[in-house]
Structure 1
Amino acid sequence: MKIIRWILGRIILGLNFIFSPRGIKRTQEQQQAVNEAVEKLKLYQFDACPFCVKVRREAKRLSLPLETRDAKVSPWEQELIEQGGKRKVPCLRIEKEDGVEWMYESNDIIAYLQQRFS
């Protein structure tokens, strides 16, 4: 099963590379404001996870320089489990004035990014 999952993951990554979306164009000032807002977002993910690829593609389409954290790497995995509550990806960590929100579903993450940055 691991071999099949690995092969499918490589196919997904290859197709994502070939059919990568183009980012939207903004003025330099608008993009700078977006970049500053995105600094408060972190995406916990696995490289070949299809739902993570879906979120990363949307971030690229929206021209968001979103920091990704590999949830298989010990410090990020521990942070995800301890602060987010579960080891599930994709997960978007959103720093807010009143604390941190952890958003887990890819469709919810995409809707949030579209609503905030479109």
Structure 2
Amino acid sequence: MSFLISFLRNLVGGILVFFDVITRGTKLKRTLEAQQQVNEQAQQLRLYQFFACPFCIKTRRAIYKMNLPIEKLSASKGSPHRDDLLASGGKIQTPCLRIENQDNVEWLYESSEIIDYLQKRFT
């Protein structure tokens, strides 16, 4: 039974990913200098995600539209990134944005909160 649920979840997720890719729209345009600054700031960010998760798709879509080169890390079973998410972030929940500040690391877990944070910081 769990195999069937997993199969259906992945099938629906794959369909969502397909429609996300074909309906994504355009990226935010910045001057070369402004984009370089954004690129530097984005190096402090990592997105832990599941490929077919609807909330992860929503977050990746927003990241794409804001033209943010944020590293995306799979938190799938067996991934070392999953272990890092649990050990450092405290729970396996995606999407999760890891934000490195000068003195500490912050973990932001809700897709809407992640998107709001990114919009305030980068737009």
User: Residues 10-63 of structure 1: CA distance to partner in whole angstroms, max 9, x if unpaired?
Assistant: 110110111013111000000000000000000000111000010111011100
Equivalent position to 2:88, from 67, 72, 83: 83
Residue 109 of structure 1: which of 104, 107, 114 is its match?
A: 114
Moved more, 83-92 or 67-76: 67-76
1:49 and 2:57 correspond: no
Aligned to 1:4: 8
Q: Once superposed, what is the RMSD of the aligned Cα atoms?
A: 0.8
Residue by residue over 1:45-104, the C-alpha shift from the partner in whole angstroms, topping out at 9 and shown as x without a partner, is 011100001011101110001100000152101110000000000000000012000000
Q: Which runs of 5+ in 1 are unaligned?
A: none
Aligned residues: 118
Does residue 22 in structure 1 map to residue 60 in structure 2?
A: no
Q: 3-state SS of the aligned residue for 1:44?
A: strand
Whole-Å Cα distance in 1 between the matches of residues 54 and 82 of structure 2? 19
Which aligned runs of 4 or more in structure 1 are off by greater than 6 angstroms? none
CA distance in 1, matches of 2:34, 2:88: 32
Structure 2, unpaired ranges of 5+: none
Q: Structure 1 length as normaliser, TM-score?
A: 0.97
